[in-house]
Amino acid sequence: MTKQLKVAVLGGGSFGTAIANIIAHNNHLTYLWMRSEEQALECKAKRENTRYLAGHPLHEQLLITADLKAAVAQADLIFVSIPSHSFRVVVQQIKPFLAPAAMVVSTAKGLEPQGFTLMSQILEQELPEHKIGVLSGPNFAKEIVQLQQTGSVIASENSALIACVQETLSSATFRVYSNGDRYGVELGGALKNIYAIICGMAAALGAGSNTQAMLLTRSLAEMGRFAQVMGADPMTFLGLAGVGDLILTCTSNLSRNYRVGYALGQGKKLEEIVANLGQVAEGVNTLRQVKQKADELGVYMPLVAGLYAVLYEQRAIADVARGLMLGEQNYDVEFLGKK
């Protein structure tokens, strides 16, 4: 193996816990930081994250702490697995403790609530001297800790960071691919949450396989169209961080955003659903921001507009669905030559 690194994973949710466990299994000095001292002490005592990954033992060498300085000081590599609404605050808190050569990777799939800012852009703004990257892909934490075969993507402009993350995370059951389009990979992770809500809603309303196939494919078309206007490479969306993550999130009850959509399709109110979820469903926040940005840039995103109308304009789902079906009949494949 390569030399032992000190690695910090910030965030005691399901995904942060899962990747920290992989890294500890790979014999690196691994810290898992949790904001709650009570939660950290419980996880240390039980060697299990009972709140997010109950029933899955944590590696005996994984160091669990609520001391942020202890976790990140002299760390070679830091993964920030914090929800978007708290991401910037935590990054600001770690800045004084970072070693000059520390590399920082976001695993959060969302947008900052105050503006159209992706998590790696926050890293650029707050940590301009450090190499940064994004880890994203079709990755349910419960399946990772069950040692199901899983693929993810590390995206960065820096080849040394990519190599470091691949060496640190790769195992017999976790494979890490590389991509130079950091913005596209991160957009894919954020955008797919919107479509997971739509697909969950459709499933609750009894949509058949034809409908789900159409929704998935047109969702991918919208994502690529929006990404291209935003400066990303639409071809990125044909990979794991695009279509792979879209399929996973839009077809499984393990997806929080899918569960939000399913409950909406059953007639429940959004506020009640979010309150009962107990975890962050990033798609609800992302929808508002993507709708605003698409309108501003003139990007045609009928599925985004339809979901927005249901959630925030009190439009009936049946009326919106009918409008989508009777709307403009557009090209099937967006980036082929149009005759």
Q: Note whether 232 and 190 are within 8 A (CB).
A: no
The C-alpha atoms of residue 306 and residue 320 are separated, in whole angstroms, by 6
Give the list of residues 6+ apart from residue 124 with CB closer than 8 angstroms, or none.
Answer: 132
Q: Are strands 6-10 and 29-33 parallel, antiparallel or unpaired?
A: parallel
Report whether 177 contacts 154 (CB < 8 A).
yes
Q: Which of 134, 68, 75 is nearest to 100 (CA)?
A: 75
Known catalytic residues are 192
**Residue of 135, 132, 107, 113 whose CA lies nearest to 121:** 132
How many other C-beta atoms lie within 10 A of the C-beta of residue 186? 27
Closest CA to 251 of 222, 304, 209, 307: 209
